[in-house]
Structure 1
Amino acid sequence: MDNNATRILDHCLDWLKECIDTRVKYYFELVEDSCVLPSLDLSGNENSGLREWMRRYELNQDECFIVMLSIAPMIRPEILDVLFTENKNTGKRYTEFGGSPENSQLGGFVPTIQTALFLLAGGDLGRRLAVMRIFRPTHFLFKNRILEGPEKGEAVISLQTALKFTSEALYELLWQEEYHPDLRADFPAKRVMTRLSWDDLVLSPSVKSQVMEIRTWMQHEEKITEEWGMKKFLKSGYRALFHGPPGTGKTLTAGLIGNALGRDVYRIDLSMIVSKYIGETEKNLAGLFDQAENKNWVLFFDEADALFGKRTQTQSSNDRFANQEVSYLLQRVEDFPGLVILASNFKGNMDPAFMRRFQSLIYFPVPKPEQRLRLWESSLKQCLKIADDVDLEAISRRYELAGGEIVNVVRSVAIMVAARSDVEVRAKDVDVAVRKELQKDGRVVS
């Protein structure tokens, strides 16, 4: 954080402390005047990411107060120590002050919605009801995932809910950086990143044309739907199915589309999504889609037929709940405003209801000999010295390998070359590595 941002943050926290002290003194009748909280002055022209963040969201005084109250436990927790005061009549903390008991055991006061209502409204019921409007799930602080909110669909947030910033909002506010979540218990997805370029993606012209159509739509969606007035006919977002044998470039294509759009691509870990317990799969998916909704992410479901498979005839309660899961998935995918890519090795395993809702169904075949030659040359010939007895053109014709398999062969070849302290690839190296790769799935080696 730059010096200006630090100065503005200090100024805002000093204001928060003044507001808390004013309210507490009035509550304990230490002052006789009416309780009027001081105003926050954010005027000035100095550049500050924090000030610009507040102005961008057009925060009013109450919203600024709630934002600072949520940040204080991480930056200046001592500001909230006064709220630890014990009621001598009950031997407990003041109920009016709120606070999260399970988190306060860590040593600091963690404010809750009740804390904010007390500090901003005191005993004024009309003022309290006005402030409570901020704590509805539809308010932008929760809708935009600035503060951690309730489960989707809940109409009211509990007064005991702790005021906490989401990680992404915290990064943006304090450091003006984009937060990139990674695989964890409450986030079943991992970011897909690639250092390769479109030149490294070897596809037939027809397949590449279909892929470019996805990129073009995402780049010009706003113009098509808003400027051209097609919003009432066309749903927002885009849904695509990539199908074909393993190793044919489906994941790489998703990563390259994300790079071209300047968007993060997240590959969903289905093992963390699917649950044998009724309702848990839908809950896990709901959490993922809720986090992604306003982030411009590309969601990539690999081996999607495990989750989006065909519905069965209802013969038991388990069948009924399984079909409900598929129906729920269908609805969430269709309503997602961004790009969703499903990948499957077998198109026939997908539920027909999904097929009708995809804008693109793209088949990724095993590359032809001329395409395999390009893959061999780009991955092997450009990196290592090739001996005269290595005929890549003949190898491309002889062995039907997908791009991912060729990469595996190149890795094995590199290991063999390095093991003998050499820099030159021999024909025997390639032959041994190819045979080992083919034997993985029981293919006959001629």
Structure 2
Amino acid sequence: MLESVYFDYLRRKIKHRLDKEFLKAEESNNNDLNVSDDGEFDHFIKKNHLSESEITILLTALIPHISPEFFNNIIAEYLPNGGDFPEFGGVKGKNHRGILPTGETVLYILAGKDVEKRSEVAKLFDEDHLFARKSVVYIEQVPVGEPKMSGRLIMDEEYVDLFLSGKISRPKLSSDFPAQLIKTELEWKDLVLQEKTLDEIKEMETWLNYNSKLLDDWEMHGKIKPGYRILFHGPPGTGKTMTACLLGKYTNRDVFRVDLSMVVSKYIGETEKNLSKLFDKAANKDWILFFDEADSIFGKRTNVRDAHDKYANQEVSYLLQRIEAHAGLVILASNMKANIDSSFTRRFNTFVEFEQPGVNERKKLWENYIPESIKAASDLNLNEIAKNYDLSGANIVNSIQFAGLQTLQKNNTSLKMDDLLKGIRKEYKKEGKMLRKT
């Protein structure tokens, strides 16, 4: 929880400025701040070596989330009969009844009417500043022709949560964020892949663990492209989604699966707008973006026959630009590598092929997923099943689920071969395959 010492500090800072404005008071040095070491706000200040000006900006953006009357009460002391005070900036919200600070508000608090100081404060919102690089706080865009600093001062919701409650709440799937957090309870040992595929996945894990050191300690910023782009390709059910989840789990990163049905729009310009919301939110976050069934938006561009083709190609071009500029890990998953536009594939760092599991992999999958708590019947031969039936990992899990339910329904004490074969037949039928031994 944010300590009251910060409220007092910001209040003194504002009153000092207003005393000079209204009472012609002299400069004072009674605005020092002693940062404690009790909460996330304190840790953020110390970790990033923030100046008092930067701390003031953070507090100004954060205060309306805690104390809606904070600015009104201070202003009322100097304008008891009401009245307008444009120098202070601030706007009214749709629901919020207090003053919502703008860029002009922090200019006034920190620099008053000193033009040179105001210019220095404005630089704290430049793109290369910590606030922009980490998407902590920013000035909302204003209508064309209005001063940039008249936009609302906005703190990212995640930092509001972090500073007020000590933890970050993850974004929820919505029209403003068309992606959903995905997790797995499984471990690396549960991922059964061919050796060459596992080696390529280890390369990605190495990038996730050491890229920041490469950029910072080796000073490689500007010398190598930001981010890492990967194509997972292979048949359904071979472990592409599970791999993405495990990469996140073992590198302490959230994995968000992009819901392409919420991204792709038939209306001109809407797809780009949806993608922009996604990448803007993901900027400077240690997230993994996972585009499943990516063919629908990353597919090959077509010859322009009509306006629809023209704008569809523009969508692909826009997406290409955003992915190239994104500094995080982006994983595209496709059932067929050939379906992906070559302009994307040229820019991938790595291709990872997920092949149908062979006999050895299938046997290991059966052994991994059949619960230890259930005894196998004497006629159950996993060697034979693995050898004779060509199934993906997802098919195997579904077959075990079916057989497990049958076992419970019949009140059997062991998993029988017949129930497992029924589950296998269902999987073959579902995919339109003939049930024949391999």
**Residues 208-267 of structure 1, C-alpha deviations (whole Å, 9 max, x = no match):** 122222223443445666767877764343221111111000111112222232322221
Say which is worse superposed, 362-371 or 422-431, in terms of deviation: 422-431
Q: Name the structure 2 match of 1:355.
A: 345
C-alpha displacement of 1:389: 2.5
Check if 1:102 corresponds to 2:96: no
| Number of residues of Structure 1 aligned to a counterpart in Structure 2 | 434
- Does the aligned pair in 2 maintain the 1:121–1:131 contact within 8 Å? yes
**Secondary structure of residue in 1 paired with 2:148:** coil
**Secondary structure of residue in 1 paired with 2:289:** strand
CA distance in 1, matches of 2:280, 2:287: 12
CA distance in 2, matches of 1:116, 1:231: 31
- Does the aligned pair in 1 maintain the 2:12–2:31 contact within 8 Å? no
CA distance in 1, matches of 2:411, 2:19: 78
Where structure 1 has 5 or more consecutive residues not aligned to the other structure, the ranges are none
Q: Name the structure 1 match of 2:137.
A: 147
Check if 1:182 corresponds to 2:172: yes
Change beyond 3 A, Cα 1:76–1:228: closer
Change beyond 3 A, Cα 1:423–1:23: farther
Q: Name the structure 1 match of 2:431.
A: 441
Matches within 5 A, 1:68-107: 68-82=59-73, 93-103=84-94, 105-107=95-97
**Residues 160-214 of structure 1, C-alpha deviations (whole Å, 9 max, x = no match):** 4222321222233334434432322211212221121111111111221222222
Change beyond 3 A, Cα 1:250–1:419: same
CA distance in 1, matches of 2:216, 2:27: 48
- The percentage of counterpart residues that share the same residue type is 37
Q: Name the structure 1 match of 2:364.
A: 374
Q: Name the structure 2 match of 1:14.
A: 8
- Does the aligned pair in 2 maintain the 1:142–1:149 contact within 8 Å? no
Which of 389, 394, 406 matches 2:396? 406
Check if 1:344 corresponds to 2:329: no
Q: Name the structure 2 match of 1:59.
A: 50
Change beyond 3 A, Cα 1:230–1:283: same
Q: Please, what is the CA RMSD of the aligned residues?
A: 3.2
- Does the aligned pair in 1 maintain the 2:93–2:100 contact within 8 Å? no
C-alpha displacement of 1:352: 1.1
C-alpha displacement of 1:414: 2.5
Q: Name the structure 2 match of 1:273.
A: 263
Q: Name the structure 1 match of 2:317.
A: 327
Matches within 5 A, 1:248-327: 248-327=238-317
Question: Which residue type is aligned with residue 264 of structure 1?
Answer: D
Question: Which residue type is aligned with residue 376 of structure 1?
Answer: W
Check if 1:432 corresponds to 2:426: no
Q: TM-score, normalised by structure 1?
A: 0.86
Q: Name the structure 1 match of 2:157.
A: 167
Matches within 5 A, 1:220-231: 220-221=210-211
Which of 33, 36, 41 matches 2:25? 33
- Does the aligned pair in 1 maintain the 2:35–2:42 contact within 8 Å? no
Change beyond 3 A, Cα 1:200–1:93: same
- Does the aligned pair in 1 maintain the 2:139–2:149 contact within 8 Å? no
- Does the aligned pair in 1 maintain the 2:136–2:156 contact within 8 Å? yes
**Secondary structure of residue in 2 paired with 1:145:** coil
